């Protein structure tokens, strides 16, 4: 079950991640922060294809790490590029930035341990 998208700018976003992923999740999030920098630079340069590729990768990777919202943003980003919808691309970049600034990972198994 996917959780509803967080409201922009409203406190911390708590994501529960299996402790088995603790070694790789910080790197995953660091890579998404780098992607955000790349997206912002590509917007200035008009390089929409790179943004589309990054969105596609986020769409595929996010859920596997427990970040359904990153997958959703990636999918919307990819679609916005395919529609040549620059305002939507900028909106999704802002959504990713907001998410990354507010996300807080709690390592816990589903049963609460």
List residues bridging with 107 in a β-sheet: 17
Return the H-helix or E-strand segment holding 93.
helix 86-102
Q: What is the mean pLDDT of residues 78-83?
A: 98
**pLDDT value of position 10:** 72
Number of domains in the chain: 1
Q: Pick from 85, 101, 90, 83: which is nearest to 44 by CA?
A: 90
Residue 8 belongs to a domain: no
Residue 39 belongs to a domain: yes
pLDDT band at 110 (very low <50, low <70, confident <90, very high): confident
User: Are 19 and 109 within 8 A, CB to CB?
Assistant: yes
HSE-CB for 52 with a 13 A CA cutoff: 12
pLDDT band at 84 (very low <50, low <70, confident <90, very high): very high
**pLDDT value of position 6:** 55
Residue 12 belongs to a domain: no
Residue 74 is part of which domain span?
19-103
Residue 14 belongs to a domain: no
Residue 88 belongs to a domain: yes
Q: What is the mean pLDDT of residues 81-107?
A: 97
- Is pLDDT of 24 > 80? yes
Residue 75 belongs to a domain: yes
**pLDDT tens for each residue of 25-68:** 999 999 999 999 999 999 999 999 999 999 999 999 999 999 99
Residue 95 belongs to a domain: yes
pTM of structure: 0.88
- Is pLDDT of 20 > 50? yes
- Say how far apart CA 28 and CA 5 lie, in whole Å: 20
Share of the chain above pLDDT 90, in %: 87
CATH no. for residue 35? 1.20.120.160
């Amino acid at each position: 079950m996917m959780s509803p998208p967080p409201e922009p700018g409203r406190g911390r976003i708590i994501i529960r991640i299996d402790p088995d992923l603790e070694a790789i999740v910080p790197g995953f999030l660091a890579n998404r922060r780098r992607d955000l920098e790349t997206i912002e630079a590509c917007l200035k340069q008009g390089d929409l294809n790179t943004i589309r590729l990054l969105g596609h990768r986020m769409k595929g990777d996010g859920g596997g790490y427990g970040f359904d919202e990153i997958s959703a943003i990636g999918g919307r980003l990819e679609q916005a590029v395919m529609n040549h919808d620059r305002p939507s691309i900028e909106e999704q970049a802002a959504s990713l930035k907001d998410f990354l600034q507010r996300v807080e990972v709690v390592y816990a198994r589903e049963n609460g341990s």
